[in-house]
Structure 1
């Protein structure tokens, strides 16, 4: 077969299996088995394929995934997350649109520790939207910030999705995680600027209300007791990776241990909460490992059949400027993001996009962060972004999809603006990794 016939053959098998209801990871594995038999010489090809797949699973670079997931599950299940949210709420005072800011500040911290966009959206939506609605907040002031901060989970470390992307793309995990710090903080800042503008343009969208005045000494105590310990876990993880003192795997282990110690200190750790955390992390880990197995073998099969090199040669033959090629790749990610979840998109695109990005001379860490932002945008892009439906499921009765769509749009614009900033100033991503 010529390269495009090989590519069409393999992708057709994947699509047919997905259409009949097979999970994405199993659809790729099924295509791999058929492709290995056809392209790699029958049973010998299958044996080689399985060896390659299990070799990918034995990589030490995958260790951060279950540890970061366990860290986030413990943070959620033990109640440390709500302790931090309540503390931030007390510290904000009488700021107009206070609860919207609390959502961004607390949601950014929670998303960072949870590493799950849909999990963050579900928790924040169920806890904060009813309270904000009771206080007279417009839907776009309550739902919008939650949809925005939910996506930050895959940009700011520790990010299990970031680890998975770096693993699939075969680039340094620590650099990708560290590279997402500055863009993630910038995005949170853009969200807060959006809230400020909305409160200025329409003060009635977030009505003021009396809150109990907290003395400065008490504020300091609340910060030291309920915020600083959790924040310290994140900062220490990042510093350990940045200084080279620990690998991403060792940093992830330290982070999980740190959350366990904090839960013990605060008296929040129980046998039941620990069990639920381990089970929750294990479920997602097994799914992620299946995906790594399917994607690693699929990438090798594409290379063996000539589909990868053929596609790259075809794409570069148009002699498009690198930025226009980047725009085309981002457009594909955004379109796929309207009806597929992030991991499925990565499985389909990483084998093609990263070799193409390398051939165009892009820094792969920078391209990884751009990809994560595009995936984050896809989570909240109407009409089929997954976080939109998660929000519909937890929002108060009577909330319409149209209200959710309109609430999401300003925060999607913020993310697009961030992409433009990173294209104009790549050092926003590459500066911190260059220090390690």
Structure 2
């Protein structure tokens, strides 16, 4: 069987299964099975499938995923995220402090949680009612919070960077540290966007809030937990003290202690965080397992390598290849969520980028930024519906989308900057070696 028969067959089956409403993990697995049976026969394929699925569930590196998910759920169900937003908002008495505070709180939350949706849900659940009460324009407030949640995807630890490292077999620690400067730069671009918005439409942003400044005790309670959790993750991984999995375990334990001690977490909230983590991992675990089968079939028939050779045979410039890949992901992101895209497409795309001469750490950052764009583009922009849901229908989905457009422009600008100046992503990892 030729490689292009396999590639087109997998794609066709996948489209059919997703089109009839089958969940993506099952669609991936079922699309893989006919080709797996062709390779090994029924009995051998059954045994090898079981071994591959079991290998995913006992993989030490993958253990970091549920731990980081659990960490984010704990913060979301305690007052740690709410306290951080209040600190950022009340601590700065300038016009637009609630918008700037939302961006800063999302960035701080991103330093301890790698989920975009959890970031928007946690900070947005506190900030959106406050900004509405203060008189912020609905498009601005919803756009700030939907886009702000994407900072959790770029600022480490990031689940997308973690999955990218697993699929491409690149250093997760280097990927995490490569995301620091682009993440901070994107935070700054978001803040500049709010400033320009305020200058263009002064009525959209109320004057400075005269709420009392937080006391030293309130500052420590709000900032201390995020600082400690972020410090444990950052120092332990980048100093070589612990692997990402070990850092995730220690930070999850620390988060549990802090959430109970200063975050107001209840036993009921703790149980809800556990069950929410299990529900999330039930889906992600199936997706990871199915992705392994899908990737095995692709690799066996050398589909990624053949696709790379096909593209290179046309003598396309590396820039042209990169542009085509970015456009492909922006379009695909309108219909699929980032984790699914990672396991469906990345096994084929990353060998192509490697053959075109791009550094995989650098491409990981470009890829992650395109995933941020994906969660803000309709019709399947997860963060859009999270913010609209928080508003309880008071903000139409159209206003949320329009509010995100300037921030989407910031992400496009950041991609251009990372392409023009690769050191934005590669400088920090290079000096840490």
| Conserved 8 A contact 2:81-2:122 | no
Gap regions ≥5 residues in structure 1: none
Aligned counterparts of 2:201 and 2:344: Cα–Cα separation in 1: 43
In structure 2, the partner of 1:92 is 92
| 1:51 correspondence with 2:51 | yes
Normalised by the length of structure 1, the TM-score is: 0.94
Tell me the CA shift for residue 220 of structure 1.
4.1
In structure 2, the partner of 1:160 is 159
Aligned counterparts of 1:303 and 1:426: Cα–Cα separation in 2: 30
| Conserved 8 A contact 1:166-1:173 | yes
Equivalences for 1:301-316 in 2 at 5 Å?
301-316=297-312
Q: Mean alpha-carbon deviation: is it higher for 232-241 or for 386-395? A: 386-395
In structure 1, the partner of 2:420 is 424
Aligned counterparts of 1:162 and 1:76: Cα–Cα separation in 2: 21
In structure 2, the partner of 1:325 is 321
CA shift in 2, pair 1:267/1:342, >3 Å: closer
Tell me the CA shift for residue 210 of structure 1.
4.5
Aligned counterparts of 2:180 and 2:398: Cα–Cα separation in 1: 32
CA distances 1:117-158 after superposition (whole Å, capped 9, x unpaired): 223223444432233223221123211111111111111112
In structure 2, the partner of 1:251 is 247
CA shift in 2, pair 1:267/1:313, >3 Å: closer
| 1:75 correspondence with 2:71 | no
| Conserved 8 A contact 2:84-2:105 | yes
Equivalences for 1:255-404 in 2 at 5 Å?
255-266=251-262, 268-395=264-391, 397-404=393-400
| Conserved 8 A contact 1:72-1:113 | yes
| Conserved 8 A contact 1:138-1:206 | yes
SS of the equivalent of 1:158 reads: coil
In structure 2, the partner of 1:13 is 13
Q: What value does the CA root-mean-square deviation take over the aligned residues?
A: 1.9
In structure 1, the partner of 2:225 is 229
SS of the equivalent of 1:6 reads: helix
CA shift in 2, pair 1:210/1:81, >3 Å: closer
Aligned counterparts of 2:123 and 2:258: Cα–Cα separation in 1: 22
Aligned counterparts of 1:129 and 1:222: Cα–Cα separation in 2: 21
CA distances 1:228-250 after superposition (whole Å, capped 9, x unpaired): 33222112311211111111111
Tell me the CA shift for residue 261 of structure 1.
1.9
CA distances 1:398-425 after superposition (whole Å, capped 9, x unpaired): 4233322211110000001111111122
SS of the equivalent of 1:114 reads: coil
Q: Mean alpha-carbon deviation: is it higher for 117-126 or for 186-195? A: 117-126
Aligned counterparts of 1:61 and 1:6: Cα–Cα separation in 2: 30
Aligned counterparts of 1:83 and 1:390: Cα–Cα separation in 2: 20
| Conserved 8 A contact 2:113-2:152 | yes
Tell me the CA shift for residue 251 of structure 1.
0.8
In structure 1, the partner of 2:146 is 147
| Conserved 8 A contact 2:25-2:290 | yes
Count of paired positions: 432
Normalised by the length of structure 2, the TM-score is: 0.94
SS of the equivalent of 1:137 reads: coil
CA shift in 2, pair 1:209/1:90, >3 Å: closer
SS of the equivalent of 2:91 reads: helix
